[in-house]
Amino acid sequence: MYVERLVCVNCGNEFSPDDVVYECRCGSLLDVVYDYEEIKDHLDIQKFRKTPPTVWKYADFLPAPKKVSLGEGGTPLLPCKRLGEMLSAPSLYIKNEGQNPTGSFKDRGMTVGVSKALTLGFGMVACASTGNTSASLAAYAARAGMRCFVFLPAGKVAAGKLAQALIYGAEVIPIDANFDVCLSIVREVCREAGIYLLNSVNPFRLEGQKTIAFEIFDQLGRVPDTIVVPVGNGGNIFAIWKGFMELREVGLTDEVPRMIGVQAEGANPIVRTLVAGSRELEVVERPETVATAIRIGRPVNWMKTLRAIRESGGTAISVSDDEILRAQEILARVEGIFVEPASAASLAGLKKLVFEGEVEKDETVVCIATGHGLKDPSVVTSRISLPEPVPPNMDEVFRRIRTRM
Ligand code: AN7
């Protein structure tokens, strides 16, 4: 392990990586710092280039030894020529995180976070979640033989995600409140009850998620110009940016991409904060969107998010629920990639960015498809109705298909 220390992103205060600490005395979150010179000295570039990508390929850049895994990472980076041409962004790629073990990018964080929990000697883990975090944590906790508690906004979690948390045996605790309230509750629960917290306030979990950047670099053979990411709590956009910064730090590249965050119009605190040029977070008290995964009004990682966006020369934009649903449909129909609404936000955002001249034709753009479409089938079945049944009669069958050819 080349991990050195935890550093507060606000005041620079330092902690040991063996401390169970999620925030600094000043209230801000912590980041993990490594001995990059050591990593650089030990990096076998030939072997590195030949090894196929998975989360644990990048163990040198991770803060805990591998203790629990479900075969996460190694998701495809899919060139989308036809869709790219339709959108005037011909060098478009989709990083399909829906192909992770529980169907979202959260698995990259949980393999590392739960491994860290085991290393620290915890027997219980918990999180608040809009759905995917709970599905992922429940699976990794099951695999590790740990007790798992998940706090969910009652009635606002997609059916597939809820089914996952239940079948993996987590203790599901629905709360009559939104995600932001659930998170403040679980933070207190973990403080009081000796349970390890695995929301993105946990500095180690995000370390696993930065492997998205390493994989994109490996698969593309270079750093893309622009990364477009849906933003909820804002942990993932920071993690991906950090991954690219580390590749530069160890001398594998000179480039860092521009990080662009996309939020739903009804849940866009980061966009509001950027537009206002504010030093404080512009909280959205009652977040609302069809993309329930990113129905978040008080993103705990807001400082990290703004740093990634500002330092990379990026931006953040909002898209409407209607734009999100149309992007979801077009991605499925034109490229055969079915993503959940929150993930489609990145594509809806790209469309808008091209229209506004923010993204140019010659740019290589990677949209992060964060979660699988099967997580939330009701958004599709409530929009696209099932055709009337046809009697088992060949004349009737041919009549039906001729009208559709
Ligand atoms: C599909 O599961 O916050 O900006 O509790 O499930 O790192 O929060 C999910 C977030 C994007 C936003 N896409 O990532 C949770 C949760 C999907 C997601 C995000 C989420 P962050």
Asked whether residue 404 carries a pLDDT value surpassing 90, the answer given is: no
Question: Which is the closest atom of ligand 1 to the Cα of 371?
Answer: 1
**pLDDT at 48 (0 to 100):** 86
Alpha carbon of 294 to ligand 1 centroid (Å) = 6
Average pLDDT, whole number, for the chain? Answer: 97
Q: Using CA atoms in the order 374, 377, 380, 386, what is the torsion angle rounded to 10 degrees?
A: 110
Burial class (CB in 10 A: 0-12, 13-18, 19+), 121: exposed
Alpha carbon of 371 to ligand 1 centroid (Å) = 9
Please, what is the end-to-end C-alpha distance for the chain in angstroms? Answer: 59
Verify whether ligand 1 is closer than 6 Å to residue 211 (CB atom). no
Verify whether ligand 1 is closer than 6 Å to residue 373 (CB atom). no
Nearest to 319 by CA among 231, 198, 219, 188: 231
Asked whether residue 297 carries a pLDDT value surpassing 90, the answer given is: yes
Alpha carbon of 356 to ligand 1 centroid (Å) = 26
Give the tens place of pLDDT for each residue, 78-118. 999 999 999 999 999 999 999 999 999 999 999 999 999 99
Domain 104-204 classification at class level: alpha beta
Q: Model confidence at 363, in pLDDT bands (50, 70, 90)? A: very high
Q: What ranges do the domains of the chain cover? A: 77-103+206-381, 104-204
Report the nearest-CA residue for atom 10 of ligand 1: 293
**pLDDT at 47 (0 to 100):** 87
Verify whether ligand 1 is closer than 6 Å to residue 113 (CB atom). no
What is the CATH architecture of 77-103+206-381?
A: 3-Layer(aba) Sandwich (3.40)
**144-167 burial by CB neighbour count: b if 16+ within 10 A, else e?**
bebebbbbbbeebbbebbbebbee
Alpha carbon of 15 to ligand 1 centroid (Å) = 27
Model-wide pTM > 0.85: yes
Pocket test for ligand 1, best of 29, 94, 100, 104 (most atoms within 8 A of CB): 104
What average pLDDT does the segment 355-374 reach?
A: 97
Structure tokens at 384: 């696209």
Verify whether ligand 1 is closer than 6 Å to residue 104 (CB atom). yes
As a whole-number percent, the residues of the chain with pLDDT over 70 amount to 100
d(CA 342, CA 274): 20
SS3 (DSSP) at 28: coil
Domains 77-103+206-381 and 104-204 share a fold: yes
Nearest to 248 by CA among 285, 230, 222: 222
Contacts of 170 (CB under 8 A, 6+ apart): 134, 137, 138, 141, 142, 148, 149, 150
Place of tokens 């077009």: 330
